[in-house]
C-alpha cells in the first residue's frame, strides 16, 4: 500500500495511464539489482529510486575517487574515499526515504554471483569490463532473470535487454570477451559524463517500463541493441536473434 506521502510524491507517475496507482504499487514491490554504481549505475539508481522502485540492491567493490565525480552523479565531493556501495545507498535513501536500499561492497564473481543476484525481478549491468558482463549474462540466463546491460566510451554508448529463454543473450551476440588490450577503458580513452547519464537514464526508463508490464512485452529494448553516437546524435536499434550454438542459451553444443 502507498502512504499519503507516497501518493503525493509519485503523483506525476500515477497520472499516467501506463502507471496509475496499481502500477506504482507494483514498482514499490519490485526488486532491482544494479551492478556498478559508476557512470551508468549512478543516473540509473537516481531515476529508479525517484520513481519509487521499492527495493534496490547496489553491488560495487570500489571506492569513490576524484575522477569519478565528472560523471558518477550519485556521489558528492565529500564522498571521496568512501565505499561506493555505502555512499550510493546513503545518498539514494536521502533522495527517497520510502524505498529500501541495500549496498553490497563486493566484486561480482563466479562464486558469489548467484547468491547476490537471487530474488531480483530485474538486473541492471553497468560495469566497465567484459568479464563481468559475460558473467552476469551467464548467471541471469541460467537463473532466468531478465537483465539490461549497457556500456559507454568516449561519445558512444549501447544498451541491450535480455529475457532469458526469449531473447538472444549477450553471448549470442558477442560470443566471448575480447582481449583486454583490444578494449580501451574510460580511464584510457575518456568519456563524456553526460553520455553516461544518457545511457544510464535509458536503462532506468526501460527498467521502469519492464517492471510495469508483463514479461512478454515486445516493445522497448528487449531483444534489441540500441547504439547511440552523441557526436552525430544518431540512434540505431538492431534486432538480435538467438543462436542455437550459443554456449549459454543455445540448444546445440
Cα 35 to Cα 123: distance, rounded to the nearest angstrom = 8
Q: What are the pLDDT digits (tens) for 193-208?
A: 999 999 999 999 999 9
Q: Is a pLDDT exceeding 80 seen at residue 157?
A: yes
**What's the whole-number mean pLDDT along residues 25-38?**
98
> Among residues of the chain, what percentage have pLDDT more than 90?
88
**What's the whole-number mean pLDDT along residues 54-64?**
98
Q: What angle do CA 194, 197, 200 make, to 5 degrees?
A: 155
Which domains, from first to last, does the chain contain?
4-239 (3.40.50.720)
- Among 140, 172, 186, 246, which one carries the catalytic annotation? 186
Is residue 140 helix, strand or coil?
helix
Cα radius of gyration rounded to whole Å, the chain:
18
Which letter does DSSP use for residue 63 in this model? Answer: B
Surface-to-core class of residue 80, CB atoms within 10 Å of its CB (0-12 exposed, 13-18 middle, 19+ buried): middle
pLDDT band at 21 (very low <50, low <70, confident <90, very high): very high
pTM of the model: 0.94
Q: Is a pLDDT exceeding 90 seen at residue 166?
A: yes
Structure confidence at residue 181 (pLDDT): 67
Q: Is a pLDDT exceeding 80 seen at residue 63?
A: yes
Instruction: Find out whether 124 and 32 touch, Cβ atoms under 8 Å.
Output: yes
Q: What are the pLDDT digits (tens) for 174-197?
A: 988 877 766 777 878 899 999 999
**What's the whole-number mean pLDDT along residues 5-9?**
98
Q: What angle do CA 230, 235, 236 make, to 5 degrees?
A: 135
Q: Is a pLDDT exceeding 60 seen at residue 136?
A: yes
φ/ψ bin of 155: left (φ > 0), alpha (ψ from -120 to 50), beta (otherwise):
alpha
Lowest-pLDDT range of 56-60, 128-132, 183-187, 245-249 = 183-187
Cα 107 to Cα 225: distance, rounded to the nearest angstrom = 26
Catalytic annotation present for 186:
yes
Q: What angle do CA 221, 227, 232 make, to 5 degrees?
A: 135
Structure confidence at residue 217 (pLDDT): 56
Cα 196 to Cα 194: distance, rounded to the nearest angstrom = 5
**What's the whole-number mean pLDDT along residues 98-123?**
97
Q: Is a pLDDT exceeding 60 seen at residue 108?
A: yes
Structure confidence at residue 214 (pLDDT): 67
The three grid cell numbers given for residue 64, joined into one nine-digit string: 569513490
Cα 64 to Cα 194: distance, rounded to the nearest angstrom = 19
Cα 38 to Cα 73: distance, rounded to the nearest angstrom = 9
**What's the whole-number mean pLDDT along residues 54-74?**
97
Structure confidence at residue 253 (pLDDT): 53
Amino acid at each position: 500500500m502507498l502512504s499519503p506521502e507516497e501518493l503525493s510524491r509519485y503523483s506525476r507517475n500515477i497520472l499516467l495511464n501506463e502507471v496509475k496507482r496499481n502500477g506504482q504499487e507494483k514498482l514499490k514491490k519490485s526488486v532491482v539489482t544494479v551492478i556498478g554504481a559508476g557512470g551508468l549505475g549512478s543516473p540509473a539508481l537516481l531515476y529508479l529510486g525517484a520513481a519509487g522502485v521499492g527495493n534496490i540492491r547496489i553491488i560495487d567493490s570500489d571506492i569513490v575517487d576524484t575522477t569519478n565525480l565528472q560523471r558518477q552523479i550519485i556521489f558528492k565531493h565529500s564522498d571521496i574515499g568512501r565505499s561506493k556501495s555505502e555512499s550510493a545507498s546513503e545518498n539514494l535513501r536521502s533522495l527517497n526515504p520510502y524505498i529500501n536500499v541495500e549496498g553490497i561492497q563486493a566484486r561480482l564473481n563466479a562464486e558469489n554471483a548467484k547468491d547476490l543476484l537471487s530474488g531480483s525481478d530485474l538486473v541492471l549491468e553497468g560495469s566497465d569490463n567484459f568479464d563481468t558482463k559475460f558473467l552476469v549474462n551467464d548467471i541471469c540466463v541460467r537463473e532466468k532473470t531478465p537483465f539490461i546491460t549497457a556500456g559507454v566510451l568516449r561519445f558512444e554508448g549501447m544498451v541491450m535487454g535480455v529475457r532469458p529463454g526469449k531473447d538472444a543473450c549477450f553471448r549470442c551476440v558477442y560470443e566471448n570477451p575480447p582481449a583486454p588490450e583490444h578494449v580501451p577503458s574510460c580511464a584510457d580513452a575518456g568519456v563524456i559524463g553526460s553520455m553516461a547519464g544518457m545511457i544510464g537514464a535509458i536503462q532506468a526508463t526501460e527498467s521502469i517500463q519492464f517492471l510495469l508490464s508483463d514479461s512478454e512485452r515486445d516493445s522497448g529494448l528487449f531483444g534489441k541493441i540500441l547504439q547511440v553516437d552523441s557526436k552525430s546524435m544518431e540512434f540505431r536499434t538492431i534486432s538480435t536473434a538467438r543462436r542455437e550454438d550459443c554456449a549459454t542459451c543455445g540448444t546445440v553444443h
